[in-house]
Chain A
């Protein structure tokens, strides 16, 4: 479909952009989607999508460091953040310019994302927890952070849409979080699919951890271990009744439509019968070989294609506005001819409404580059992530890690509670992949043994004994919004086609450091109860994100949760968008994605962001049909 008159121009084909494109085209609107990544990646037909994806898989097999972006093309014309570029910052005033981000510190921002068709869901893990009611009113309840202009109850119907869109597997009955009301999930609500089986490891650890009493700051807490809802396919739940999300023009609302048939899991792009169940590839990050795990291209495939025009290799760089009305008049983008080519041409996309869905850092960067939407001076500020403190050790008995999806069980006990007036909350996923994250096991275990001269049967036995007992625990600490943690731009730092590179200032507040101290205390008690020998090491010399609190050092890692750079708020002075996710100053500009979230809570952000994005789609439809 080619026209000069698009209803909506969307930037980015990640889950946020795909949800907008699908919802609006299904409602009959004409959408132009600009995507920075390569043409090949957008293929939705069986043959081409298979070919591209097999290429990603082969690249992954051949990659020396199997980091999240390792299967995917890194483009000079639209570079991706890569965790391999996160280096320890020197104490001088010169920022690190290794990689795409310019990192000013004091510590480097530790997460990456993927710029290409389908966006970061290609390598996300797929954990899909909802936020808790108190997460939306941190200021009111705990006098910390800020409140949202939305409540949990307002978002609840949209959470159900997001759970259908992503295809969540989980057991509602088991979802017991601290302080939640009885109707946290609606009456008789179930997820589309049964829970993903919890790992053998989870069950072994839960034996001594579920109901374990731990003491923290002289208060006793009883831990629980529960199954984690996630966006990967399992057995359909016979009681799930919804089939699609539709726009009701008379009520001016989106609604879940019931279907008589049993829910049918969305398989791979190339074959609906491949990927209908998670097959235990244990490589969800960075790539699920069978696409049993959700990715945003599955949503894009459900768009009404005759209403959708996609331009790839099109990097949005500037928003043009009308000085008088404030209306956006177009989005300038640079088209590069082929991968790595420094040559580009510039064009302008026009429509009635504009939506930025380029993910939090890029959205902020485009706004800053255009000097648009920033009367509040909040654009780029409050950059957040979950600060992941890892602890690891060896169990007495074999627990057989490196099998199954990344995580199938979590400890939700510290997701909410009175302690939040003192220190940050966290969630603790149990990890199924041994020590691979912190120590690059099992490859490094082989190297270590070889350096000790171990070989032959002794080596085989050592590996069997060691690797099968590796246990890893996460403490994903909620980072608070801090105005100083921010994205800025600087004409000194440009990429190959003369777009700005994001310049990042980033640090950790005392409220968060206290949570590191607290989580290590809890970890020690869990390890003691399970007879786990602690092997955790935080290295002050080599670890890029090493911080200290009360004389103790901690290393945190990024969770990939890039949040908060164009926050939603109550007035045009405190925020970039209103509760409708529309720019306060530009009535035909919407921002979508995790950048809108005023705070992070303790759940991985994408489910909440997707719920918000359905709400944004509804608001856009309302505006178009005024």
Chain B
């Protein structure tokens, strides 16, 4: 039996494979809703529908096989020509808080995953405390 998953669930699930951050880390940003809305508002409705149709298909077809899934993402989602570059824009949004050149919100900037990937913190927020910079990150 296949359970009908909502687009938002699919968004979260595919984001894990697109970003390399696990679900708990993505949920931890508190941005899932905002970013899903940003996907809807920055793309045409047909692009969104076709994108999630493809996401549902490749998630289902490659369940349990990460290599195959990555290959499918590479072929079907990553090209700039696929769904007006939606996958790339989604990754960029998770990493930097921007959709294209536009900052999604102040909070999105603060929650950018790039700072975690770089073992740093967003300049101007989440400050690690006096003298923390004098030792390697914990």
Residues of A that sit less than 8 Å from B by CB: 57-58, 60-64, 66, 197-200, 203, 234, 277-283, 287, 289-290, 398, 400-405, 408, 432-433, 442-443, 445-447, 450, 453, 455-461, 463-464, 467-468
Contacts and interface: CB of A to CB of B under 8 A. Distances in A.
A455 B134 CA distance: 32
Contact of A456 (B20, B92, B102, B125): B20
B20 A281 contact: no
Given A460-B19, A460-B20, A64 B121 contact: no
Contacts of A64: 98, 101-103
A199 B136 CA distance: 9
Nearest to A58: B106
B115 interface: yes
Interface stretch (B33-41, B48-56, B70-78): B70-78
Nearest to A463: B117
Interface residues of B, number: 47
A54 to B, nearest CB: 11
A332 B18 CA distance: 61
A450 B92 contact: yes
B127 A281 contact: yes
Nearest to A406: B123
A277 B135 CA distance: 17
Interface string B13-50: 00001111100000000000000000000000000000
A467 B114 contact: yes
B133 A460 contact: no
Contact of A459 (B91, B96, B106, B127): B91
B103 A63 contact: yes
B109 A62 contact: yes
B21 A460 contact: yes
B64 interface: no
B130 A234 contact: yes
Given A453-B74, A463-B118, 5 more contacts: A66-B123, A279-B130, A281-B125, A443-B114, A447-B92
Contacts of B120: 282, 400-403, 467
Contacts of A402: 115, 118, 120-121, 123
B130 A403 contact: no
24 contacts: A61-B125, A62-B103, A62-B105, A199-B133, A280-B130, A282-B124, A282-B133, A283-B123, A283-B124, A287-B124, A289-B124, A289-B127, A402-B115, A403-B137, A404-B132, A404-B133, A442-B115, A446-B95, A450-B88, A455-B91, A463-B95, A467-B118, A468-B118, A468-B119
